[in-house]
Amino acid sequence: MIIKKKINRFTVFVKDDGEKYIEIFNNFLNNSLKVLKVFRNIDDTRVVLIDTAYGKFILKVFHPRVKNTERFLKSMVKGDYYENLFYQTHRVRQEGFDALNDFYLLAEIKTLRYVHTYIMLIEYIEGVELADMAEIGPEVKEKLHQSILSLHRHGMVSGDPHKGNFILQGDKIRIIDLSGKRPSRQRMAKDRLDLERHYGIENSTKDLGFWLLIYKKKLRNFLRRLKGKNVR
């Protein structure tokens, strides 16, 4: 079960046996975490590897800054992607699908339903990022393909299945950086088309989601041309 509690200004989501994750979060608040490696440090996102009394974890801090008004209005109608991701991750892992990284704790500062800051404590996956592999062989591609199709069957989408969001752990493919968005047919079709674009994995399912996506793109390009902009 997942519990929700207040810690300082944060709303915190954690599994009910998650005292150790709360302790790590408190260490974050006290600035006493030991950072081993910084993976990403750009204006709105910081992703670091930390060492704790309970082992290594990934800590991701996200301050959404872009398009604030738009995000604010969207959050009013759409809800919270990371909160969804937290619950979805818990659900599909319980269903036995564990290719995606585990998600131990989510903390957020909210005004109404708008989130200013997200802190995420995530499973550290030790392995080789696909982006760092010289060549991705057919076996790995097949595993990658199956992992995304299974993810879809379990009612989740990746949203961004490029080479930086998969890690080969031993001989197992792991998926990181998921979106938590609703798994519409169109988003599933987009994942499949992204696999085709990034890895040459052919999309063999041309369903309604696929055609909606294709025609939306055509319409967008058409409108751009009308406005006299360059079409990518």
Ligand X SMILES: Nc1ncnc2c1ncn2[C@@H]1O[C@H](COP(=O)(O)OP(=O)(O)O)[C@@H](O)[C@H]1O
- Which one of residues 177, 185, 186, 203 is an interface residue with Mg ion (CB under 5 A)? 177
Q: Residue 161: which of 102, 203, 208, 221 has the closest Cα?
A: 203
- Which one of residues 165, 173, 187, 210 is an interface residue with Mg ion (CB under 5 A)? 165
**By the criterion CB under 6 A, which residues form the site for ligand X?**
39-40, 45, 47, 58, 60, 101, 122-125, 129, 164-165, 167, 176-177
Our CB check for ligand X shows the closer of 55 and 222 to be: 55
* Three-state secondary structure of 188-207: HHHHHHHHHHHHCCCCCCCC
Contact of 146 with 191, CB cutoff 8 Å? no
Contact of 121 with 47, CB cutoff 8 Å? no
Under the criterion CB under 5 A, does residue 147 sit at the interface with Mg ion? no
If one counts every other C-beta atom within 10 angstroms of the C-beta of residue 108, the result is 21
Under the criterion CB under 5 A, does residue 179 sit at the interface with Mg ion? no
Our CB check for ligand X shows the closer of 88 and 101 to be: 101
Our CB check for Mg ion shows the closer of 155 and 164 to be: 164
If one counts every other C-beta atom within 10 angstroms of the C-beta of residue 120, the result is 21
Q: Closest approach of Cβ 227 to ligand X, in Å?
A: 31
* Residues at the contact surface with Mg ion, assessed by CB under 5 A: 164-165, 177
